[in-house]
Structure 1
Amino acid sequence: MSCRRSQLLLVALAMLILFASCTLKGGSTNMGYCFDADYSPEHKRLYVAAGNRGMHIFDVSRSKLDYVQTYHSGGYYRFLDSAGDHVYVAHAGDGLLVIDTAGHQPKAIWSQKDGPGSGVHVYKDYVFLAQGKKGLSIFNISTPAEPVLAGHCKTSGDAWDVWTEGGHAYVADVDQGVTVVDISDVRNPEVVALVTWDKVNPMAEVITGEGDYVYVASGKHGLVIIDVTEPTAPTVASQFKSGREGYGEGLAVRDKIVYLANGNHEKASENGLYILDVSRPGQPEVLG
């Protein structure tokens, strides 16, 4: 299997276990409601944020999911991102939680304990944390065991998730749309733009990006693709919805392929994973 195909398979495997209640080890352990997953190519591990079940760890060295263990320090794990030997968790109660995964047993080594944590993204030496109505917080993690708050700003609404590239952070404000924050000076982040697709309830819940586009899992609006070629003037490139009752619940993107976790209250057959070719962002094409 080629490296690229192997990576795509791992992304698909991750998406298949998101947003589902299932069991581990032949039915002995309930996974809980899984919000997010992140793959560490360095350690060949998949980390899964599973709400009040904590964090599940899988070995994917053989291009399949082999359950290793579950770690839970208490509370609700919403989203996570990994870098090196550490996993950074958006914790519903403690804000940012840092877990050391270097040893045989993971251990929490630091927590913010200041407001909720909704979404998280690691970019270079910084962690960007979406904190609901509190907005966006930026932490310097050059010393992972001692994160330092570098900057903070209010966003346009209720910050649920964040993705960062270049000099900008893109925040999924669930009740407003996507807020663009200039982070060229992390000590003084500044909101520079807002784009929405529904002035009443855009449901911007989960966000990620690649190249000049960001992708939003937007509940009843499905998948929303946003052109950020000019970050201060973002525009909606297109939307995809599986049907009248289709819901975009989560997503990943790699090499212009979007993996969309989809729910449908009307047609059970449309629940599951949608794979879309977004090489033409204005016309996403369903591959499977």
Structure 2
Amino acid sequence: MGNLLNSKVAVLLAAYEGCNWIEEQVNSILIQKNVDVTLYISVDQSTDGTERWVDQLAATEPNVVVLQHGLTFGGAGRNFFRLIRDVNLSRYDYISFADQDDIWDEFKLSAAITELHGKSVDAYSSNVLAFWPDGKTQLIVKSQPQMKYDFFFEAAGPGCTYVFTKQLACHLKQFVIENWTDIQNVALHDWFFYAFARANGYKWFIDERYFMSYRQHQNNQVGVNSGFNALRKRSAQVFNGSWLGQIQLIASILRLDKSDFVKSWRNFGFFGSLGLAAQAFQCRRRVRDKLTFMFFFTLISLRFNK
């Protein structure tokens, strides 16, 4: 596409019990500069009037489309998979994703598209500025250099910063449709989208700038992972098997479970876990996460060696 000005962008927004924040989020999407936005909203069945609010919005905003109500997804991941499946992505130049409670800079999408075009890449994500009700803010840095195997174990930042080219989005849509049943068990759509793109050879850029304020509150399904409580939660997910199970599931869905790398650790036995610990610096981006990864998988290997 030669002219970037007024590129057609589909923004896919997953909502649930969102009346406290969704208006501010939607307004920040609809005022995006230098792009032609169509906002698609899918609401996980709610009790706070979210469906009524988005229906009233769509009645007055021609570039807002609300998908059929009445479905229960039980999490943002399944809701985003529904949006990928049901929206005709081929009509747009780029596809983006939105939560219901953040605030976008007015140049968020145009900045992403400029990077996609200028760097000849297929996918974009970025750092974000987290903010809390008490006024506290924190820059969340996700732009560390990508590693050979990081996509097996983490996302490329918050999914609400992702922007995809049409080619990648349509490929992802077809894959989601073909693997619909298995994908319902994927907990984190942003991790899966990153893994899909990297596994299929698409080029990804993570911007060190931020164009989004990332709201933190007690109802966040996934928020900022920092501090002791985050470490404790992450440790529980490792040792109760949920995180390890998601790693295995994503590798299997993407047909990577027969690759030499995955075969070396897919059952997380003594040698497999020790091997992952040894490769920690290729498996995560942030140095602190590399060291934590090494520590966790060393512990897991010792458990299997008893």
TM-score by length of 2: 0.26
Richer in strand (by share): 1
Question: Higher helix proportion, which one?
Answer: 2
Higher relative contact order (CA 8 A, sep 6+): 2
Q: Which has the larger radius of gyration?
A: 2
